[in-house]
Structure 1
Amino acid sequence: MSVQPDILCIGSVLWDVIGRTPRHMSVGHDVPGRITRLPGGVAMNIAMALVREGMRPALLTVLGRDGEGVELERAARDMGMETGFVTWSDSLPTDQYMAIEGENGLVAAIADAHSLENAGDIILEPLADGRLGSIDAPYSGVVALDGNLTEVLLSRIAENPLFSEADLRIAPASPGKAGRLVPILRHPGATLYVNRIEAGLICDKKFSTAVAAAEALVEMGARRVLVTDGGGMMAEAGPDGVLSATPPQVVVARVTGAGDTFMAAHIAAETRGLSGLVAVEAALGITAAYISEPGP
C-alpha cells in the first residue's frame, strides 16, 4: 500500500547518460573523460534533491515495463521515494537523456522523453481516483511540475479542478521547452523556477538581469517567479515585491541538475518554515555545494 508523500513530482523519470571531461570542449572535439549512467529527468532530479533534504516525494510518471524501467523504479524506491503511483506501460520504452559536459559547462544534450509525452494525462489518474485526491477533494499539497509535459497537458492542468488547491512549483525541462509553460503561468497557486535565458524565451525578449526577467514574467501574469542566472544575481518576484541574492562563488564541477537542485532546496526550505531571502539563500548554498562536487 502506498504511503502518503510529502510532495508530488510529476514528469520525467529516466536514465541520464552523461559524459564529463575536465577539458574545454567545442563541436567536433574528441577528448578523454568519464561516462556515467544515473537516474535522472527533471522530476527525478527534483525528487532526489528533496530526499537529500529529508522529504519523501512521490513520482507520477510513466515507465516502460522493460529492464531499464524496472531497474529505475527499484533505484527510486531504494532512495526513499514513493513509487506506488507510477504508471507502467507495456508499449512505451523507458525514456533517457544524454549530455556532454566540459570544463566550459554543458556542451550538448538530447532528451528523449517521448514516452512521457505519449502517455499524456494517464499519469495523473492517482489525483482523480481517490488515492491522492478527487474532484470533490482536490490534492492540496505541493506539486513539482516538469516542463517535459506537453503544452496540451500543461494547459489542461492549468484549468483542471484537480489542481485547484495545489501549491504548484513549475520547472522548464530545458530552454527549448520553456515556452510550454505559458498556459500555466497564471494558475493562482503557481511558482515558476526558470533561468534568465528561459525567462527570455517565455517573454520573447532578451533580459540583461534576472531582476528584469522576473519583473517581466510577473507583468505577463505570473503569480510568483524565481529567476536564476548561473553565478550571477538571481531574483524572486511576486505579490510581496522583488528580492535578489547572489549565489556563493564556487568552482563548478558539474551543471546537469543544478536548476532542479535549487528548486528542490527552495521548496524544502519553505516547507521547514523559512521564507523570503532566508529561503532563497539557503537554497543557493545547497546548490553551490551540489555543483562544486564532482558527479559520480
Structure 2
Amino acid sequence: MYDYDLLVVGSANADLVVGVERRPGAGETVLGGDLAVHPGGKGANQAVAAARLGARTALLARVGDDGHGRLLRDSLRSAGVDTAAVLTGGAPTGVALITVDPSGDNSIVVSPGANARLTEDDVRAEVLGAARVVSAQLEIPPATVAAVVRALPEGTRFVLNPSPPRPLPGEVLAACDPLVVNEHEARVLLGDEETGGTGEPGEVPADPADWARRLLALGPRSVVVTLGAEGALVCDASGVRAVPSVAVAAVDTTGAGDAFTAALAWRLGAGEELPVAAAYAARVGAAAVTRRGAQESYPTAAEVAALDA
C-alpha cells in the first residue's frame, strides 16, 4: 500500500510576476504593471496541481528560513500537499522573475537559492518508496535527480520534465517513463547540430513527431511532447499518437506545463494508458491557462470535468 499517489522531487520558488505590454529585448527597459508575489517553482507547482485534482501528494524540496519559504509551505498545506519532506535552510528561498505579456506568454529567470542546496544526501529511499510515481524537474541539481533515479524502488514509475533543459546522463534517460518536453526542451535535448533536412547545421527538424521519435531513441521508455493549444504527442515502442487539447482563451501560461505533467503522472500511477493520461493532462493544462498565476490557476477535478463537458 502506497502512502502517496505522487511524490514530486523538485524546486519551490516565490514567483515575482510583472505584466508587460511586450517583453524586453537585449539592452532594453520596459515599464510593467504592479508586482505580484505568488508561490511557485516547478516542483511545488506540480505538487499543488496534483493535490488539487485529488491525488495524495508529497513534495521533497528545500526552502529558506524566510517569508518566501513560509508562503510556500502555507500554499502547499492549503492545497493538501504533505510537506514532511520539505526541508529548510542552506540559502534563501528560490525566486523566479516572470514577465507576462497580454497574450499570456511569459519569460522567466530563476534564482535557485535553496533549491540548489537540495543534495543527494536529502534523497531518502523510504520517501521514494512511499509513492506510486515520482516526478522530477531540473530546477534542482542534476546530481540530485540522478540520485533519485538510483534510489527508485522496483515498481515505482519515474516521470521527468527536463526544465530548464540540459544534457541528461544515460541512467536518467533510461528511467524516464515518460520524458515530458515542450518544443524548446525537445530542441535542446536533440542538439543544435541537426540539419533539418537541408544538409547544413541548423535547427532541429520542425516535425514534432520526429522530435518524439528521436527523443525516444535517446533511451527513455516513453516520451510526451507538449504542443500548447495543439495538445500533445505521445511516443513509445508502439509509435507516435496525437492527443488533442481543449480550445480556451489563454490568460496566462505560467505553470501550465507543470499542471500538465502533474496530471499526467497522477493518472499514469492510477493505471491509465499513456494516451489516455495525456489527454486528461491536456485538459488540465488548458484549464490552468484560463486564470492568472501558477498555483492559484490550477483546477480541481470537477473544474476539469466541466471544461470537457
> TM-score higher than 0.5 here?
yes
SS in 1 for 2:242: strand
| Further displaced range: 74-83 or 115-124 | 115-124
Q: 1:154 aligns with which of 145, 156, 165?
A: 145
1:14-93 correspondence runs (5 A): 14-21=13-20, 23-27=21-25, 28=28, 30-89=30-89, 91-93=90-92
Native 8 Å contact 1:157 1:184 kept in 2: no
SS in 1 for 2:91: coil
Between the two proteins, the alignment pairs up a number of residues equal to: 280
1:1-296 correspondence runs (5 A): 4-21=3-20, 23-27=21-25, 28=28, 30-89=30-89, 91-125=90-124, 127=125, 130=126, 132=127, 138=129, 141-158=132-149, 160-174=150-164, 177-180=165-168, 183-187=171-175, 190-204=177-191, 205=194, 206-232=204-230, 234-295=232-293
What TM-score, normalized to structure 2?
Answer: 0.81
Query: CA 1:83 to 1:157, structure 2 compared with 1: closer, same or farther past 3 Å?
Result: closer
Q: Quick one: distance in 1 between partners of 2:261 and 2:169?
A: 16
Cα deviations across residues 215-253 of structure 1 (Å, max 9, x unaligned)? 001111121110012223521111332211232232221
Query: CA 1:276 to 1:73, structure 2 compared with 1: closer, same or farther past 3 Å?
Result: closer
Q: Quick one: distance in 2 between partners of 1:34 and 1:253?
A: 17
Read off the aligned partner of 1:195 and give its amino acid letter: N
| Further displaced range: 76-85 or 229-238 | 229-238
Q: Quick one: distance in 1 between partners of 2:161 and 2:169?
A: 8
Shift of 1:186: 1.0
Structure 1 gap segments, 5+ residues each: none
Q: Quick one: distance in 2 between partners of 1:18 and 1:32?
A: 10
Structure 2 gap segments, 5+ residues each: 195-203, 297-309
| Further displaced range: 279-288 or 40-49 | 279-288
Q: Quick one: distance in 2 between partners of 1:5 and 1:164?
A: 16
Native 8 Å contact 1:59 1:81 kept in 2: yes
Q: Quick one: distance in 2 between partners of 1:103 and 1:183?
A: 41
Could you tell me the percent identity over the aligned residues? Answer: 24
Output the aligned Cα RMSD: 2.4
Native 8 Å contact 1:210 1:233 kept in 2: no
Shift of 1:107: 4.8
Q: Quick one: distance in 2 between partners of 1:234 and 1:73?
A: 32
Shift of 1:117: 1.8
Higher relative contact order structure (alpha carbons within 8 Å, sequence separation ≥ 6): 2
What TM-score, normalized to structure 1?
Answer: 0.84
